[in-house]
Structure 1
Amino acid sequence: MIALIALLLDAAIGWPDPLYRRIGHPVTWMGALIARLDRAMNRGGNRIGRGMAASLIVITAAVLPAAILQAWLGPLAAGVLAWPLVAARSLDDHLRAVARPLLADDLPAARQATAMIVGRDVTRADEPALARASIESLSENASDGVIAPLFWAVVLGLPGIAAYKAINTLDSMIGHRTPRHDLFGRFAARLDDATNWLPARLTALLIAATSGDARRSWAAARRDARAHRSPNAGWPEAAMAGALHVRLSGPRVYADRVADEPWLNGSARDPGAADLDRALAIYRRAVLLAGLVLAVLVLVRPW
């Protein structure tokens, strides 16, 4: 029930800008705490241990009030509190912001919108590169931003979704293989891998089930997911590549280096603007199917 309420509220209204301007967002609150701990604790010896301690502080700060509030207020109110921790509408909005100019052949606007959702350098990217980066972001974040939070809400309620978002935010801020964070963020990165293991595969299943070509989509996921640098992101990305009959991943440019990543569904063609539009349609159907599954679980649970 908590997961279903959160998803319905997010799909209906997202996180309104006036509310964000007034109080911010729980993820930004977590981010501020992580940044403060990074400055205070990421120094001296035993960086791995210090990073583990910092991660546990952040997770505890998220879980403890969530557990108290759920016990005090009950599942209906807990569902409302879980609402900002699901990002289904936000992800759709950000990807539509890329799709619109890309479909209109406005590459400068499409590059600007794509730069808001990916970390790679897209200043000179052409249509296939922009479509590829956006579809990859949509596929990975369908897991990280939607299915994984819902999964942990189903398993552990409001404390579960709060813990997951804390872990995911830790990974996004300190879980990088950089000189500063390779040791300090190692625990957070491994924990994020563990908590996303099953949700990533469930996301791939949902994408395949709603793709219109489930056999091809799931075959691509099973064949190519393990080639991805991430133990989890390759599953929804490869499933989407198979669903669209395009290739994803491959070489990409970051600020200071070129990452020579393997292709997913590499024998297929490059994606274009129309494929991003198709990917959004699959994503919406996958989220709808997840919502229907949650509704069924709510209905059958009393029996």
Structure 2
Amino acid sequence: MWLIIVGSLIVDQIRGEPRRFHPLIGLGWWIATVEKRIYPLRQQTTRTLLAGLAGWLMVVVPIMLPVIWVDRFVEGFWHNLLAILTLYLAIGHKSLIEHALRVYLPLSKGDMTAARQQVAMLVSRDTHQLDASGISRATCESVLENGSDALFAALFWFAVAGIPGVVLYRIVNTLDAMWGYRSERYLYFGRVAARVDDVMNWIPARLTALSYALAGWHWQTSKSTFNAALACWWKQGRSWKSPNAGPVMAAGAGALGIQLGGGGIYHGRHIESPVLGIGRPATTVDIQRACTLIRHALLIWLAVLLIITWVLS
């Protein structure tokens, strides 16, 4: 298991995210097709909930049945190669860092227009009026949250359930990204997608929060940093709108000694969110520090997975 994980991370570091023919593009098309076919003409609560459940099953089952079959009957070298390729396509470590640096580089040079354009590709809030601190805050939030979604949760489900586990997680996460909104259209239709994603991310998110706290302790060589990260996770994480993003971002902000959260403009409306973390507001350099925190957390995960693999072998 450990060698497969390392192999997938090496491939990701060399190749990065595929520019074309990424399976997630096809998955997105399939999800949109199912939604178009099954979304109810009348938005009645029960009917819309059942349509969302049926749509979720129509997306998941046709993909998972052949994946489980292949995982069961393909063995040896070819199974290991398939596992490396599957996990490589499911994680987004290099692309996450690259997206963050695309914001950091123009921001560090004072090019606010380019920085706002780049951060708009990471977050859903209105970025046109963001200053340097606001851009840094939004980028750090995205990096820390997506470190859990795009990297650590995928590693967790591969370690727990192999190829079927990581494929199911990526499908569930994509369904949530497309249907899991609290808008008028998706409030009921996307409820199943949102709840299943919450369940599958519950343990990985908290392991990620713990690894951020440990990574900050190691980096800062200060026990107080570790304690601050845990305190932010416990006291602030539960107040966030997402039950999994809150602990992750709060622990990461506490480990970095910065403040995240607060107000933002979303679809023309000012929405006030709880403050996460402790210390000073985020600055440009904190984008790099957030990326470094994820790298250190990844080393912790690899060390723990190596021990687990050794014990189980």
Q: TM-score, normalised by structure 1?
A: 0.93
Match of 2:312 in 1: 301
Distance of 1:243 and 1:115 partners within structure 2 = 25
* 1:162-177 pair list within 5 angstroms: 162-177=167-182
Length, aligned pairs only: 296
Opposite residue 28 of structure 1, the aligned amino acid is I
Match of 1:257 in 2: 269
Cα deviation for residue 299 of structure 1 reads 3.0
Distance of 1:6 and 1:55 partners within structure 2 = 28
Cα deviation for residue 29 of structure 1 reads 1.4
- Could you tell me which of 106, 112, 135 is aligned with 1:107? 112
What percentage of aligned pairs have identical amino acids?
A: 36
- SS of the equivalent of 1:33 reads helix
> Please, which runs of 5 or more residues in structure 2 have no aligned partner?
none
Higher RCO (CA 8 Å, separation ≥ 6 residues): 1
- SS of the equivalent of 1:71 reads helix
Distance of 1:112 and 1:149 partners within structure 2 = 28
Match of 1:29 in 2: 26
- Could you tell me which of 103, 113, 121 is aligned with 1:116? 121
| Runs of 4+ that moved beyond 4 A | none
Alignment pair present for 1:272 and 2:270: no
Match of 2:12 in 1: 10
Alignment pair present for 1:65 and 2:66: yes
Alignment pair present for 1:151 and 2:153: no
Cα deviation for residue 149 of structure 1 reads 0.9
Cα deviation for residue 4 of structure 1 reads 4.0
Is the 1:63–1:159 contact (alpha carbons within 8 Å) kept by the matching residues of 2?
Answer: yes
Match of 1:129 in 2: 134
Distance of 2:157 and 2:5 partners within structure 1 = 9
Opposite residue 12 of structure 2, the aligned amino acid is D
Alignment pair present for 1:232 and 2:244: yes
Opposite residue 224 of structure 1, the aligned amino acid is Q
> Please, which runs of 5 or more residues in structure 1 have no aligned partner?
none
Cα deviation for residue 296 of structure 1 reads 2.9
Opposite residue 51 of structure 2, the aligned amino acid is R
Is the 2:126–2:268 contact (alpha carbons within 8 Å) kept by the matching residues of 1?
Answer: no
CA displacement 1:141-188 (0-9 Å, x = unmatched): 011111111111111111111111111000100110111111110110
Distance of 1:66 and 1:245 partners within structure 2 = 43
- SS of the equivalent of 1:272 reads coil
Alignment pair present for 1:209 and 2:206: no
Distance 1:244 1:264, change over 3 A: same
Is the 2:39–2:51 contact (alpha carbons within 8 Å) kept by the matching residues of 1?
Answer: yes
Is the 1:204–1:235 contact (alpha carbons within 8 Å) kept by the matching residues of 2?
Answer: yes
**Mean Cα deviation higher: 53-62 or 68-77:** 68-77
